[in-house]
Structure 1
């Protein structure tokens, strides 16, 4: 709602607030996405480490099985055992070489047959695994050796480092992986290093095998969450940016519409920006204009015509509706009085009032001044009581309604059938008219239950001797249904839309006469 005048731009808190509000969803969204990316990377690191650990265990199962099969041959001469050694190499998927040692001396190899090389159990983690940086045959080429012993005798089988580095590279899913066996570790490049493995900045994970003495380390370098966000969350980036723009724009709009509303309404009242619009009310039978309901509109200098639902509720809440209505009545009297001869006696003029009016005796003076502007009997003033706020009976309301009745002012209950207190008003106050809410009229020919309610309201008004006005008539079928039920007055777009004073006065002499349909 336009309630403040534009001021020169300054970088005050008010000017910065839309930017701050717009930044909240962007920053919050980015932080949430960063947290989600970290969680995703942690899950990937754990899953990948477990996957690689399982793969390495299967490799070790293969070479451990070969060593187990060769263990009974440790006391046989090499010439007799060579065929069995080579058979394990041939049959084993990952076995690169198989060897036998006796008295801690490697005496037989699948590669060379008879051989002699000392075997030191200390080179192996727990005497079983050794991540080697090559051997005499392939120096500098990684090997993983598995040692199975019985006393000082046993079998040694090896797996080529290429199998290990391939597993680290192919199963990483973007994760950096390291295989650690004792003091040695190997990365995806297949190079064996000594010392502690590298520490990962993001999602560091260590997965130790429950069956063999090795572990797999996984993680990511610094900045990986941002890379993941850019790669996989572009849609969310766009969404949070859009939300930020929308939030900032909404905040700026709200600041412009809702800033200092009391001051803005007071300014508009002093500037005489609240103008009357007239919606004709037609009578039964010939559908000639029997009067009009006066509707308040706000002609804002910058925003143009402001809808009443944007300012009327606040005016009621702030208590400014009373002076606004007083000025509206003055403008109606000033505008219509010169044309009073153009409408017949008893022309109804309806003005909306609220609970605040009913607690202010000044309403009587406003109505008296309004009627005094017209020739006696030429205009009948009808106050239409809305139910947005409950009217609480008091000595003031009783005295006010009594004096208004003596003045000839009529009381109508607006939107009858939708408020919680409509029936209570009939009991507490002397009412002259009921205005049927347009929601019931719209259901004519559509909803049977609403139609029954409509018929009941019409029947009730007849039993109480009240006049009745149907609002929101938009179709001929609705008009004819209400005519058959002898509804006194009708109002709606079928007959005329709300119009400014000049157009209303001009149309009074040229109003159309509708064809009457009777059962």
Structure 2
């Protein structure tokens, strides 16, 4: 029910939405940063692989140049060309050894001179490159061999694998790198393996040389993306967390604001959900209706009729009661005016006001608007002062009450005897009626002290020449007791409960001299 203190469901959408609003930007930002990190890692892998590839191509250019220089000497006696082989080794820092072969037999080496070893073309990728896992001189140490041939003759140059290893370790410190030549590959640990190199866990890239038959594989190990993410975006991550928290807090505030009692009352006021209910007030003697007290009721679209004790105190506390009362007065006037012929002259219409209504002269305009809906003398408007807020006798308040009396509006003290300011109000303001609180009426025939207080209030009203209204009359004993003490008016469930407009009109029409009521009219409203 609106304005109750029941807590919302623990996992309702109002609870979850702020979390979602806080988390969604964070997740979106993380996704973007993760994508950017991956993109940067792929770009770094690509750039590193290209740089390593170019470095190896530079080494191979030196090997190719030396091989091409020696190729015309292939087939000549080793004693004639051995010096030339050694000159190429000395001249080129990347060349470890040079060799010549004839009829697929290596016959001359810069290291040993005359030599005899078969040369198998199938060992070389595209007949040019061979990544070896060492030889008889340096077993287990990688070598990259370049072969240049012309017919069955040719030259072979080699480079120590440590040059390749330096490129893998120095160029790509944080990147996993492998050089592949045919079915052999080498990683940064320096060993030559057979088969296909493993694919990196993150940002895998393969760059193939367009000049030589080798390729470079690059990528990052598992977990590297997280390390780079935290290393590169700590400020952005903090900003996302802060923005997410602010967005969630703003969403929560907005939801609470949209679902606050103030917002709900404003919505109900705009929707016209506050309706007048009417409780008759009967006069002394014949108990005919002398008027009605207008009570505000809230017909909620989902909850139905809301109890006034759930929203009236909050409306008074928030100051919204002024606008709600203004709408109630206008609604009441517009509802009763077309049926004014059913009302006796001097028919009292009582409306509750609080201290908030007395802080400006706006209430005077509201009362004038109300009375303008009726012929002069047809309706007497009575404002009933409640004591939930103290009414201070400021110049504006005194002027307001004086002008209200000038236009015929009467003032009643509601729930007299229960508040702390009732006697002060009698002294400070011109009051026309006292309304005895129902708590005293309920003690008739019971609590002696409360009954003495009731008798004193009745006696006081007589001495001050004030009219008196007894509220909460529910039994014949109470009615008769009040009649015996000449109480001017009575009001309570004994005579009629608060009723909507259509029931009020039926009851007014059913009075003697008025149009007859339909047979379906409720019996409790036939007293009019």
Structure 2 length normalisation: TM-score? 0.54
Q: What is the aligned partner in structure 1 of residue 183 from structure 2?
A: 183
Q: CA deviation at 1:363?
A: 9.8
Aligned counterparts, 1:203-242, within 5 A: 203-242=203-242
Provide closer, same or farther for how the CA distance between residues 220 and 377 of structure 1 changes in structure 2, counting only shifts above 3 A. same
Q: CA deviation at 1:270?
A: 2.1
- Aligned residue for 2:148, secondary structure, equals strand
**What is the CA deviation profile of residues 221-246 of structure 1, one whole-angstrom value per residue up to 9, with x for unaligned ones?**
33332222122222222122112211
**What is the CA deviation profile of residues 81-111 of structure 1, one whole-angstrom value per residue up to 9, with x for unaligned ones?**
1221111111113111111111211111111
User: How many residues are matched?
Assistant: 322
- Aligned residue for 2:145, secondary structure, equals strand
Give yes or no for contact 1:4–1:256 (8 Å, CA) kept in 2.
Answer: no
Q: What is the aligned partner in structure 1 of residue 403 from structure 2?
A: 375
Give yes or no for contact 1:48–1:173 (8 Å, CA) kept in 2.
Answer: no
Q: What is the aligned partner in structure 2 of residue 270 from structure 1?
A: 312
- Aligned residue for 2:39, secondary structure, equals helix
Q: Matched residues in 1 for 2:126 and 2:94: separation? A: 22
Aligned-pair Cα RMSD in Å: 3.8
Give yes or no for contact 1:107–1:115 (8 Å, CA) kept in 2.
Answer: yes
**What is the CA deviation profile of residues 347-405 of structure 1, one whole-angstrom value per residue up to 9, with x for unaligned ones?**
x9579x9xxx9xxx769669x979984338999xxxxxxxxxxxxxxxxxxxxxxxxxx
Q: What is the aligned partner in structure 2 of residue 335 from structure 1?
A: 358
Q: CA deviation at 1:324?
A: 8.7
Q: Matched residues in 2 for 1:376 and 1:11: separation? A: 52
Q: What is the aligned partner in structure 2 of residue 419 from structure 1?
A: none
Q: What is the aligned partner in structure 2 of residue 517 from structure 1?
A: none
Aligned counterparts, 1:87-126, within 5 A: 87-126=87-126
Give yes or no for contact 1:102–1:154 (8 Å, CA) kept in 2.
Answer: yes
1:59 matched to 2:63: no
Give yes or no for contact 2:145–2:159 (8 Å, CA) kept in 1.
Answer: yes
Q: Matched residues in 1 for 2:179 and 2:356: separation? A: 94
Give yes or no for contact 2:257–2:263 (8 Å, CA) kept in 1.
Answer: no
- Aligned residue for 2:402, secondary structure, equals coil
Provide closer, same or farther for how the CA distance between residues 17 and 364 of structure 1 changes in structure 2, counting only shifts above 3 A. farther
- Aligned residue for 1:177, secondary structure, equals strand
Q: CA deviation at 1:332?
A: 7.0
What runs of 5+ residues in structure 1 fail to find an aligned partner? 276-297, 301-310, 337-347, 380-519
**What is the CA deviation profile of residues 96-143 of structure 1, one whole-angstrom value per residue up to 9, with x for unaligned ones?**
111111121111111112222111111101110000000110010000
Higher relative contact order (Cα pairs below 8 Å, separated by 6+ residues): 1
What runs of 5+ residues in structure 2 fail to find an aligned partner? 269-307, 332-350, 375-379, 384-398, 408-528
- Aligned residue for 1:375, secondary structure, equals helix
Provide closer, same or farther for how the CA distance between residues 350 and 151 of structure 1 changes in structure 2, counting only shifts above 3 A. same
Q: 2:327 aligns with which of 323, 328, 349?
A: 323
Give yes or no for contact 2:45–2:205 (8 Å, CA) kept in 1.
Answer: yes
Q: Matched residues in 2 for 1:36 and 1:365: separation? A: 72
Aligned counterparts, 1:120-135, within 5 A: 120-135=120-135
Give yes or no for contact 1:109–1:115 (8 Å, CA) kept in 2.
Answer: yes
Q: CA deviation at 1:272?
A: 6.2
Give yes or no for contact 1:21–1:251 (8 Å, CA) kept in 2.
Answer: yes
Q: What is the aligned partner in structure 1 of residue 82 from structure 2?
A: 82
Q: What is the aligned partner in structure 2 of residue 420 from structure 1?
A: none
Give yes or no for contact 1:131–1:143 (8 Å, CA) kept in 2.
Answer: yes
Larger radius of gyration: 2
Tell me whether 180-189 or 225-234 shows the greater mean CA deviation.
Answer: 225-234
Provide closer, same or farther for how the CA distance between residues 6 and 242 of structure 1 changes in structure 2, counting only shifts above 3 A. farther
Provide closer, same or farther for how the CA distance between residues 78 and 263 of structure 1 changes in structure 2, counting only shifts above 3 A. same
Q: CA deviation at 1:42?
A: 1.2
Q: Matched residues in 2 for 1:44 and 1:324: separation? A: 73
Provide closer, same or farther for how the CA distance between residues 214 and 6 of structure 1 changes in structure 2, counting only shifts above 3 A. farther
Aligned counterparts, 1:251-290, within 5 A: 251-259=251-259, 262-265=263-266, 270-271=312-313, 273=315
Structure 1 length normalisation: TM-score? 0.55
Provide closer, same or farther for how the CA distance between residues 75 and 363 of structure 1 changes in structure 2, counting only shifts above 3 A. farther
Provide closer, same or farther for how the CA distance between residues 236 and 375 of structure 1 changes in structure 2, counting only shifts above 3 A. closer
**What is the CA deviation profile of residues 162-213 of structure 1, one whole-angstrom value per residue up to 9, with x for unaligned ones?**
0101101111151111100000000011100001111222222111100000
Provide closer, same or farther for how the CA distance between residues 122 and 323 of structure 1 changes in structure 2, counting only shifts above 3 A. same
Give yes or no for contact 1:274–1:324 (8 Å, CA) kept in 2.
Answer: no
Provide closer, same or farther for how the CA distance between residues 234 and 76 of structure 1 changes in structure 2, counting only shifts above 3 A. same
Give yes or no for contact 2:108–2:115 (8 Å, CA) kept in 1.
Answer: yes
Aligned counterparts, 1:389-428, within 5 A: none
Q: What is the aligned partner in structure 2 of residue 20 from structure 1?
A: 20
Give yes or no for contact 1:45–1:203 (8 Å, CA) kept in 2.
Answer: yes
